[in-house]
Amino acid sequence: MQNAESQDARGDTKKTGATDARLLGRSCEALWGICSGIMADKKLSDEEIRFLDQWLRDNKEIAAAWPGDVVYARVQEVLADGVITEDERNHLKETLTGLIDGTLRDTPARPEMPTAEPVEKTVAIEIPGRSFCFTGTFLFGTQAACERAVSRRGGTPLPEVQPELDYLVVGAMASESWADMDFARNVQQAIDYQKQGSDIAIIGEEIWTKHLRPDAV
């Protein structure tokens, strides 16, 4: 009897998971549609930024999942001080364009790396009092924008990988970054330090941005 109940429970869980996946898929399509509409004229007004912010607030399941969480975190960063600069506007335009063009993907592992999966997919991180180094191309914005986001939350951005580094954050934009020598050198250096006993965590942008949302800070 217990086995039958367990099987039924597992079946219900699988059905629920499949339903959630379909709903999330449709939600991501909705986000793509919204961003496409906003960027149709290749311009991004203050009103459109605030509209996107409100839309994500009203669609929490999208704002909490990849890649909506990255877009939401970026919008929040732009609106944080109440002033939208042209630099912030342009970086957000790059974010939305990357999403629309399909150049965003889950952070991959570089085939040439000695380990097949250098990026940790699930890891809890802290920002205050921790050090971060950024490498690659980010949906969130430039590396300088990522560093500012960390500094505002009490973290310390570092320009290069060091044994004392807490997190090496890998950008999620699908570009030629994985073939870039500086990028490869940073990831390889972190892996080498790990082998020597360093506690450096190599994380993807999608993990990092989850901790930038207001409810995660």
Q: Where are the domains of the chain?
A: 2-101, 131-216
- pLDDT, residue 128, reads 94
Mean pLDDT of 157-178: 81
Q: What class, spelled out in words, does domain 131-216 have in CATH?
A: alpha beta
- pLDDT, residue 55, reads 92
Give pLDDT tens digits for 137-153: 887 878 888 999 999 99
Its pTM stands at: 0.58
pLDDT over 50 (residue 175): no
Q: Which of 63-67, 160-164, 176-180 has the lowest mean pLDDT?
A: 176-180
Q: Where are the alpha helices (DSSP H) in 39-123?
A: 46-58, 60-63, 68-79, 86-101
- Give dist(CA 126, CA 141) in Å, integer: 21
Q: Please return the burial class of 2, using the count of CB atoms within 10 Å of its CB with bins 0-12, 13-18 and 19+.
A: exposed
Q: What angle do CA 166, 170, 20 make, to 5 degrees?
A: 105
The first and second tokens of residue 129, run together, are 């009092």
